[in-house]
Chains A and B, each alone.
Chain A
């Protein structure tokens, strides 16, 4: 079991890293270009992945082949999200692309790896107040249960929104325009 877990992690990570680097989403100018609302290749990549996997997940779920468990909502999602976003803006990459960048030879990402671990250590040290402030009072994360409707009434509109955003930014912005 231990060996399977290690092998499984390595293979998933390898494929994921290969795709990230090969698609160019690990590039600093691409990430900053997206956050500056000028280069939307990463957004198109992410929303394509999200739309495709959303439909696959729920289709397979309907066939009883897997069970989707949406993440609950608490204040940590908002506050943690804002802290994470600030860090991503300063760095120009996120944890997954950081690791792939280390493989590409980008040295500042090695420092970032330790910084990220330190951030989690600080989180561990502050867990007591954080827990009572932000992590109590969860709301169920399943939108279709919250609204009391069939999940396809959520999935299809979400897919339409995602595809519309992809279509709009693809028409309006060139992936290879000079930004910096």
Chain B
């Protein structure tokens, strides 16, 4: 299966731009909020979780819900989340890659067209993703893009764990591509 990558930016361009964004964000944050803030995404999801926890669960006294519900970080990261959606939309619109799809094409090729099957996997995967990000104190953005740049020992352990478990999971889902056989 060939994917059209002709409209993509070079990895170096993207990488440098992200680094400038990280540093600028940190810098501006220190100025407006008087705090050291490596931007992340996880707390934005935490803000949504806190919303539902307060609405339906009566979890307002729970320390995690309290933190995500009241901390300014989480409020800002909720809007980072909204901004990400708008940014993804705009970039794909401009490059003509806006492609509504229910299931990734590669998944469909190897695991079938069943929407229910993919959505069950998505639900399990995303619950693990949320739980893991909360426990590890950040996702790929917070722990690798920011944490590795800060040479945080905690983030280095977290990031290596992301890859270790991700590599094993990918091998289980796509066993035929493993090893040195690149013929398919």
Q: Which residues of A does B touch, CB under 8 Å?
A: 4-6, 8-29, 32, 35-38, 41-42, 44-54, 56-57, 60, 65-74, 76-92, 94-108, 111-125, 127, 130, 134, 139-144, 146, 151, 154-155, 158, 175-180
Contacts and interface: CB of A to CB of B under 8 A. Distances in A.
Interface residues of B, number: 137
A26 to B, nearest CB: 7
B26 to A, nearest CB: 6
A120 B122 contact: no
B139 A77 contact: no
A136 B45 CA distance: 24
A73 B136 CA distance: 9
Contact of B154 (A85, A89, A141): A141
Contacts of A140: 153
B76 A5 contact: yes
Contacts of A176: 5
**Chain A at the B interface: mostly helix, strand, loop or mixed?**
helix
Contacts of A9: 75-80, 82-83
Given A17-B87, A69-B36, A69-B150, A115 B129 contact: yes
Contacts of B46: 117, 120
A122 B145 contact: no
A18 B49 contact: no
Interface string B51-85: 01100010100111100100010011111111111
Interface string B127-144: 111111111111111011
16 contacts: A21-B88, A21-B97, A23-B9, A38-B182, A46-B140, A67-B30, A69-B36, A71-B137, A84-B165, A90-B128, A94-B141, A103-B88, A117-B46, A117-B48, A117-B52, A124-B134
Contacts of B178: 36
A81 B21 contact: no
A76 B63 CA distance: 17
Contact of A104 (B10, B49, B99, B105): B99
**Chain B at the A interface: mostly helix, strand, loop or mixed?**
helix
Q: Which of B11, B48, B82, B90 counts the most A-chain CB atoms under 10 A from its CB?
A: B11
Contacts of A21: 87-88, 91-92, 97
B139 A95 contact: yes
Contacts of A14: 83-84, 86-87, 90
Interface in B134-177: 134-141, 143-155, 157-174, 177
A117 B46 CA distance: 6
Contact of B19 (A49, A146, A151): A49
Q: Which of B23, B135, B151 counts the most A-chain CB atoms under 10 A from its CB?
A: B135
Contact of B164 (A71, A80, A85, A90): A85
B169 to A, nearest CB: 3
Nearest to B109: A180
A152 B86 CA distance: 38
Contacts of B139: 84, 94-96
Nearest to B100: A105
Nearest to B76: A9
Given A41-B11, A67-B36, A158-B151, A53 B129 contact: no
Given A71-B154, A112-B122, 18 more contacts: A8-B76, A9-B78, A9-B83, A16-B87, A21-B97, A48-B11, A48-B15, A70-B151, A77-B154, A85-B167, A86-B166, A87-B127, A89-B170, A99-B41, A103-B91, A104-B98, A115-B125, A117-B46
